[in-house]
Chains A and B, each alone.
Chain A
Amino acid sequence: KQEVTQIPAALSVPEGENLVLNCSFTDSAIYNLQWFRQDPGKGLTSLLLIQSSQREQTSGRLNASLDKSSGRSTLYIAASQPGDSATYLCAVIFQGAQKLVFGQGTRLTINP
């Protein structure tokens, strides 16, 4: 079964720290992987999209890596800020499918 798992489910860190969110997927045959942010009661905002041929993508303080062989991706957030507090979702399009499969998300809280 093609599944996506995110650990931890929740994370609370002081402002200014660098942090890493983890995502794992059960099948290394993927088209791409996407990280989203969801604020409470809101929709999803796309943060980074990594194609299967890529190893990482960067946008500002965010860096996402992809290791297909081990079925893992990480989202690195540098110099965290209270405004980064949100739920971060990892989603994968597996080969042979035409839909995003989501992890359960990591609820991140940055404490001032």
Chain B
Amino acid sequence: NAGVMQNPRHLVRRRGQEARLRCSPMKGHSHVYWYRQLPEEGLKFMVYLQKENIIDESGMPKERFSAEFPKEGPSILRIQQVVRGDSAAYFCASSPWTSQGGGYTFGSGTRLTVV
């Protein structure tokens, strides 16, 4: 079991470009969560998705950020027109069933640097 796979591990974008972050959950997991960790800060929830559905996006900035988890393929976190303040580590986690049971597994993260 390869665990939660995130790619790329590191991503450099110029201001105004688009960033696409990918997350493949663990085999058998149908719940995906995205978190952001700003430098020297804790992890902040962004969005919770199940296959083809956004369940909770209360942590997503209202503009420029979007997420999807299609029927086939990885979950994608998309940031349009990136700004310096988007520089952070973005972590994906997955769980096998309803999140209340716990058992989250995290990926190694994508470190986005906006120059």
Contact = CB atoms under 8 A, between A and B. Distances in A.
B102 interface: yes
A45 B59 CA distance: 23
Contacts of A105: 42
What DSSP secondary structure best describes chain A's contact surface? strand
Interface in A69-112: 89, 91, 93, 95, 98-105
Interface string A35-78: 01000011111100101000000000000000000000000000
Contacts of A45: 106
Range class of the A interface residue count? 20 to 34
A32 B106 contact: no
A24 interface: no
A104 B48 contact: no
Interface stretch (B11-19, B68-76, B93-101): B93-101
Contacts of B99: 93, 98-100
B100 A31 contact: yes
**What 9 A-B pairs have minimum CB-CB distances, sorted nearest first?**
A43-B108, A31-B100, A44-B106, A32-B102, A104-B42, A102-B43, A98-B99, A99-B45, A102-B42
14 contacts: A31-B100, A32-B101, A43-B109, A44-B106, A49-B102, A49-B103, A91-B43, A93-B99, A98-B48, A98-B55, A99-B33, A100-B33, A100-B93, A105-B42
Interface of B: 33, 35, 41-45, 48, 55-56, 59, 91, 93, 98-109, 111
Given A32-B100, A100-B93, A101-B45, 13 more contacts: A31-B102, A43-B108, A44-B91, A44-B93, A45-B106, A51-B102, A89-B43, A93-B102, A98-B99, A100-B33, A100-B45, A102-B44, A103-B42
